[in-house]
Structure 1
Amino acid sequence: MTELVTLEDVRAAAAALTGVVRRTPLEPSRDPSLDGVHLKCENLQRAGSFKIRGAYMRVSRLTDAERAQGVVAASAGNHAQGVALAATTLGIHSTVFMPAAAPLPKVAATKGYGADVILGGATVDDALEAAHRFAAETGATLIHPFDHRDIVAGQGTIALEILDQLPETATIVTAVGGGGLIAGIAAAAKELRPDIRIVGVQAAGAAAYPDSLAAGKPVRLEKMNTIADGIAVGRPGDVPFEIVDHLVDEIVTVTEEDISRALLSLLERNKLVVEPAGATAYAALLNYSVPYTGPTVAVISGGNIDPLLLMRLIGHGLAASGRFLRCNLRCPDRPGALASVLQLVGAYGGNIVDVFHQRSDPRLSIGEVSVDLSIETRGSEHATEIVAALRDAGYFLTVAGSSI
């Protein structure tokens, strides 16, 4: 069994990180449905995520001989930026392997912090294998994204800040990928407050921990599929797994729709730009996967999001929350028929964004046309009202991605 990270280790990390990391704000959620929930805004941390904490702690403990050989890391973006910034701050050369599809802003930021970036492979696991080979060939020290005691201790400094900022915290909810973040938080928080509840959240399409915990050991996923690339990790780390198994109260999962809705809510209500992985803890509270009583903190773990992805996720979030309705209906092929449809939608307060009208679909009957509508609504109840009105008027209607 691996020796568990202790509160003493985390306090030592906090001392080492003084003057290096930001003490990020703890803000109350502005969503009225989440009374008592606070947000630990690590998206406002240096390099845009919590990763600088563990990365700097690990790199700062290298010997002079190790520093001379440089460091190497693998990451989809946040750990890459953390390692690059930490290494440059300490005057050490860094090389970072990133998946070929890593978001361009994360690649550019990593280069901007001083690292040599090498792209290749489809996943973080692929990049990690390449980083291991590079370390063996060059003598560079591998800075693992989550599977090292110094990494875990550095991430755990978040818990010290939370309990100082909100001593009465009853529950801490955080995203989980390889497990370094939640392991560090649990190691510190549970020793200070044994009664505190620690809950981890994974994307349903990349949830390695539930099966691993059931098996009693880290188990690799055969495949992953999620927009939350920052926590798309196929196998839990050995060091964090031991801590999670002993100290974490629960691991839950959220869907892609949950993540999109959470990201939109954080942007709209809390004025926070957050990446999908960073929104997962909040998503689990927003969809009631994590019942809570007493003050609860959701760790908003990162904000490094590609603007193009942000645009798509905002649209997806609007659709998931019922505020953007896409539907198809059939109506008679005669003058004024389409105008009647549009007038009906307008009468119920829907704002039509675009219309696609066609006669050539082979599924249509003679004298019938197909109409695709995109409609802005005031929410799911309003969307349901518009759909009901169209059906009551006799239109055959289907709604994209919905059971309405």
Structure 2
Amino acid sequence: MKNPPPIWLMVTLLMFPQVVETIYSPSLPHISQAFWVSFETASQTLSVYFIAFAIGVVVWGRLCDTLGRKKAMIYGLITYGIGAFIALLAGNFETLLLARIISAFGAAVGSIVTQTMLRDSFEGPELGKVFSVMGMGISISPVLGLMLGGAIAQNLGHLGVFSFLLSLSLVLLLLGQCCLSETRPQHLTPVPLLPLAKQMICNGQVMRSATLAALFNLMLFSYYALAPFIFADLNMSSIAFGYSGIALGLGSLIGSLINKRLLSRGWQAVTLINLASILALCGGVGVYLLQSSLAFLLPMVCVVQAFGIAIPNILSQALVDYKQVAGSAGALFGLAYYLMLGAGLALAGVLQNLGLVLLLAAGLTTLLCLLNLKNVTPVLSTKGV
């Protein structure tokens, strides 16, 4: 690749969707009070966010192939900024929901465009190593997001959070315009989405990977959706919830480092995902038993460690057979798992029980792995790792 994108900027942009969501999470109790809505209603903004995010993944992924990677990124960041500005001016909960939808739609570029640019620029073992670095960046996102969000929400309320998000989008817009180069292959011909979607739906490996990605993300983001209210019930502040990001971030970072180490020793992706599923299930049991006290954070660390191990393997290998249509295939893959994630978060909002959500999600990942072993078919190809 003649002009590979700066890795530091790729890490920053891939972290962007998770950081802006975790910054928002500590403000949920403040939003509940400011707009006179229940905890359940306030937490539903997360499920709405990810459904809109899924739609954004498809649109920006498609624009990756038609307009180019850089233009898609810039337009997406502008869209996010518009949503953050509307949220800042929202006078009722309905307007806030609209703002969240626009923000989510724009934030999707940080996921789909960044991954597409990486797949353009790297392949084989090098791509796996790059995604392991991305995984470490994602692992510290909760630390940055929850600590910043907790401090801002405690001192400035939800309006301070929205002001920060607007400022962040402007900074990233400037960096993207100045530092990003175009990575789209010169002779790329966009393919029709419908035939490609049918082909991917019939690909068991792709759909299994999408389901696993959704379930591991559900375990992480259900914490952001439900834990603020657990802390509120324990009479703890938004800042205290923000500090919990340190434990989670360290856990995810340790998981990413373990993943990188085991990959270098020749472990296969399927084995690592099986390991992560078992670890997540153990952590889910612990959270379910301890969520009436702050001790639930200890098993929650096991859950985020599992996330740090599993996600890099899923993302780096899920679309190895679709490199020539990376933008469109990535868009459809993202649509599938973000729609599943949005539905899972909607269910989590109804259940309002973090431990139960984790048990269900981890149980399903473990079941998928067991069925995969029974069929003697790898969840993910390890070719090129």
TM-score category of the 2 structures, normalised to the smaller one: under 0.3
Q: Which has the larger radius of gyration?
A: 1
Q: TM-score, normalised by structure 1?
A: 0.23
Which structure shows the higher strand fraction? 1
- Ranked by relative contact order (alpha carbons within 8 Å, sequence separation 6 or more), the top structure is 2
Which structure shows the higher helix fraction? 2
